[in-house]
Chain A
Amino acid sequence: MTQQGVRWTADQVLALAPDAASRKAGSRLGAAGPWSEAGSSDEGTVWGLCKGSGSKPYQTVIDIAEPSGPAYKCSCPSRKFPCKHALGLLLLWAGGDGAVPPGQPPDWAEQWIKGRRQRAEEKRTASAPGSASGTADPEAARRRAERRAVRVTAGATELEQRLADLLRGGLAGAEQAGYGLGEETAARMVDAQAPGLAARVRELGAIPASGPGWPVRLLEECALLHLLDQGWLRRELLPDGLADTVRSRVGLPASADGPPVRDRWLVLAQYDTADVKLTTRRIWLYGADSGRTALLLSYGAAGRAPELALPVGLALEAEVSAYPGAGQLRAALGEQFAPPAPTAIRPPGVTTAEAAARYGEALRGDPWLDSVPVTLDRVVPTPDGDSWQLADADADTALPLTPAARARPGLWRLVALSGGAPVKVFGECGHRGFTPLTAWAEGKGEVVQLC
Chain B
Amino acid sequence: MNSPALPADSPAPAAWEELVTTALLGTDRRTPPGCEPGREAPVALLDAAAVETVRRRAGLRPARAAQRPRPAPEDPRPALPPAAARRLAMLLADRPGAAGGGRRGTAPDLMELLPQWLAAANERGFAPPPQALPALLDAARGRTDLRPAALTFAGPRAVWLARLNPDWRFALRATPGAGAALPHLEDAAQVQQLWQEGLFAERVALLSAIRAHEPAAARELLTTTWATERAEDRLMFLDSLRAGLGPEDEPFLEQALADRSRNVRATAAELLSALPESALAARMAVRAGTCVALDHTREAPTITVEAPHECDAGMERDGVVPKAPAGRGERSWWFGQLVEAAPLGAWPRRLGGRTPGEIVALPVADDWQSELHAAWCRAAVRQRNAEWARALLGSPSAPEAGGPGAVSLAERAKLLGTLGSGERAEWVAGFIAMHGLSEAFQLLGMCVVPWSAPLGRAVVDALNIARDAGSYPWSFSGVMGLAERCLDPAEASRLDGLLAVPDEPEDASPGAGGYWAEAFQRLVTTLRLRAAMIEELGTAGPSGGAAPS
- Residues of A participating in the B interface, judged by any CB pair closer than 8 Å: 9-11, 14, 21, 23-25, 27-34, 51, 53, 91, 95, 97, 160, 163-173, 213, 215-220, 222-224, 226-227, 352-353, 355-356, 359-361, 363-364, 367, 380, 382-385, 387, 389, 391-392, 395-400, 409, 412-413, 415-417, 419-421, 431-433, 441, 448
Does B465 sit within 8 A of A, measured CB to CB? no
Most buried by A among B41, B67, B71, B90: B90
Docked complex: B61-100 residues within 8 A CB-CB of A? 61-72, 83, 86, 89-90, 93-95, 98
How far is B89's CA from A23's CA once the two chains are assembled, in angstroms? Answer: 12
Can you show 7 pairs from A to B with CB atoms below 8 A apart? A172-B24, A172-B25, A382-B65, A397-B63, A398-B66, A416-B133, A433-B6
Contact of B93 with A213 in the complex, beta carbons under 8 Å: no
B66 touches A384 (CB 8 A): yes
* Interface assignment of B204: CB less than 8 Å from any CB of chain A: no
Which of the residues A25, A95, A168, A395 comes within 8 Å of B42, measured between beta carbons? A168
Chain B residue numbers with a CB within 8 Å of A219 are 19-20, 23, 49, 53
Extra contacts, 18 of them, besides A28-B105, A160-B43, A217-B1 (Cβ < 8 A), are A27-B110, A95-B532, A172-B25, A215-B20, A219-B23, A353-B61, A359-B57, A363-B57, A382-B68, A383-B164, A391-B66, A392-B62, A398-B64, A398-B66, A400-B5, A416-B134, A431-B2, A432-B3
B26 within 8 A of A: yes
Closest Cβ neighbor of B167 among chain A residues = A412
Instruction: Please indicate the chain A residues that have their CB under 8 angstroms from the CB of B95 in the complex.
Output: 24
A200 to chain B, nearest CB (A): 13
CB closest residue in chain B, given A32: B528
- Residues B95-114 near A (CB distance < 8 A): 95, 98, 105-108, 110
Give residues of chain B (15-50) contacting chain A, Cβ–Cβ below 8 Å: 19-20, 23-29, 41-43, 45-47, 49-50
Q: Is the CB of B57 within 8 A of A360?
A: yes
Expressed in whole angstroms, the Cα–Cα distance for A222 and B329 within the complex equals: 87
Q: Is B160 engaged at the interface, CB distance under 8 Å to the other chain?
A: yes
- Measured in the bound complex, the distance between the Cα atoms of B6 and A355 in whole Å is 12
- Considering residues A32, A223, A448, which has the most beta carbons from chain B within 10 angstroms of its beta carbon? A223
Q: Which of B183-191, B338-346, B519-527 contacts A (4 or more CB under 8 A)?
A: B519-527
Bound form: Cα–Cα A356–B61 in Å: 6
Contact status A382-B46, CB under 8 Å: no
Q: How far is the CB of A14 from chain B (nearest CB, A)?
A: 7
Determine if B3 and A420 form an interchain contact, defined as CB atoms under 8 angstroms apart.
no
Contact assessment for B5 and A415 in the assembled complex, using a CB-CB cutoff below 8 Å? no
- Asked whether, in the complex, the Cβ of B68 is within 8 Å of the Cβ of A30, the reply is no
- B176 at the A interface (CB under 8 A): no
Q: How many residues of B contact A (CB 8 A)?
A: 74
Contact in complex: B49, A383 (CB < 8 Å): no
Chain B hits for A53, CB < 8 A:
105, 518
CA distance A30 to B26 in the complex (A): 62
Q: Are B164 and A415 neighbours in the complex by a CB distance under 8 Å?
A: yes
Taking the complex as formed, is B475 at the interface, i.e. its CB lies under 8 A from any CB of chain A?
Answer: no
Q: Which residues 119-140 in B have Cβ within 8 Å of A in the complex?
A: 130-134
Q: B99: nearest residue on chain A (CB-CB)?
A: A28
Q: Specify the chain A residue showing the minimal Cβ separation from B138.
A: A409
Q: Are B49 and A220 in contact (CB under 8 A)?
A: yes
Hey, which chain B residues are within 8 Å of A160, CB to CB? 43
> Chain B interface (Cβ within 8 Å of chain A)?
1-3, 5-6, 19-20, 23-29, 41-43, 45-47, 49-50, 52-54, 56-72, 83, 86, 89-90, 93-95, 98, 105-108, 110, 130-134, 157, 160-161, 164-165, 518, 521-522, 524-526, 528-529, 532
**CB-defined contacts of A413 to chain B, threshold 8 Å:** 131, 134
Cα of A224 to Cα of B57 in the assembled complex, Å: 12
A163, B57: Cβ atoms closer than 8 Å:
no
Cα-based distance from A33 to B105 in the complex (angstroms)? 12
Which B residues are in CB contact (< 8 Å) with A364?
58
- Across-interface contacts of B43 in A (CB, < 8 A): 160, 164, 226
CA distance A30 to B20 in the complex (A): 57
Q: Nearest Cβ distance between residue A206 and chain B, in whole angstroms? A: 13
Contacts of A389 in B (CB 8 A): 5, 63, 65-66
Asked if B49 contacts A416 (CB within 8 A), the reply is no
- Chain B min CB distance to A131 (Å): 37
Q: How far is the CA of A25 from the CA of B109 in the complex (A)?
A: 11
Given contacts A31-B108, A419-B130, contact A14 B3 (CB under 8 A): no
B62-A397 in contact (CB<8A)? yes
B524 and A33: CB pair below 8 A? yes
* Contacting pair B62 A399 (CB below 8 A): yes
Kindly list chain B residues whose C-beta atoms are within 8 Å of the C-beta of A222.
23, 46, 49
A391 to B67: give the CA distance in the assembly, Å. 9
Docked-complex contact B86 and A10, CB < 8 angstroms = yes
* A382-B66 contact, Cβ under 8 Å, with A169-B28, A420-B160, A433-B5: yes
Q: Choose among A97, A167, A213, A420 the residue that contacts B2 (Cβ–Cβ < 8 A).
A: A213
Q: Which of A170, A380, A397 contacts B26 (CB 8 A)?
A: A170
Q: Is A223 touching B89 in the complex (CB atoms < 8 A)?
A: no
Q: Is there an interface contact between B23 and A356, defined as CB atoms closer than 8 Å? A: no
Q: Which residues of A contact B98 (CB under 8 A)?
A: 21, 24
Which 7 A-B pairs have CB atoms at the shortest separation, nearest pair first?
A: A33-B525, A170-B26, A28-B107, A419-B72, A420-B71, A223-B49, A167-B42
**B160 — which chain A residues lie within 8 A by C-beta?**
419-420
Report Cα–Cα, A360/B130, bound state, in Å. 34
Once the chains are docked, how many angstroms separate the CA of A396 from the CA of B64?
6
A213 CA to B23 CA in the complex, in Å? 13
Contact indicator A167/B26 (Cβ below 8 Å): yes
Report the separation of the CA atoms of residues A167 and B6 in the bound assembly, to the nearest whole angstrom: 27
| A383 touching B69 in the complex, CB below 8 Å, given contacts A216-B20, A389-B5, A416-B130 | yes
**Contacting pair B525 A34 (CB below 8 A):** yes
**B20: A residues at CB distance < 8 A:** 215-216, 219
B38 to chain A, nearest CB (A): 10
| Contact assessment for A226 and B46 in the assembled complex, using a CB-CB cutoff below 8 Å | yes
User: Shortest Cβ distance from B23 into chain A, in angstroms?
Assistant: 5
Q: What residue in chain A is nearest B45 (Cβ atoms)? A: A167
For residue A439, which residue of chain B has the nearest CB? Answer: B131
B50 CB, nearest partner CB in chain A, Å = 4
Q: Which residues does chain B contribute within 8 Å of A164, judged by CB atoms?
A: 42-43, 46
- Nearest A residue to B43 by beta-carbon distance? A164
Least distance between B83 CB and chain A CB atoms (Å) = 7
B61: chain A residues within 8 A (beta carbon): 353, 356, 397
Are A363's CB and B58's CB within 8 A? yes
B309 smallest CB distance to A (angstroms): 65
- Bound CA span A33–B72, Å: 41
Which chain B residues border A51 with CB–CB below 8 Å?
106, 521
Contact yes or no, A409 B134, CB < 8 A: yes
Q: Does the CB pair A167–B54 fall under 8 Å?
A: no
Q: Which one of B46, B63, B522, B529 lies within 8 Å of A398 (CB-CB)?
A: B63
* A182 CB, min distance to chain B CBs, angstroms: 17
Cβ of B157 and Cβ of A419 under 8 Å apart? Answer: yes
Contact A170 B25 (CB under 8 A): yes
Given A168-B26, A172-B25, A431-B3, also A226-B47 (CB < 8 A): yes
B71 touches A171 (CB 8 A): no
Residues of A within 8 A of B132 (CB): 416
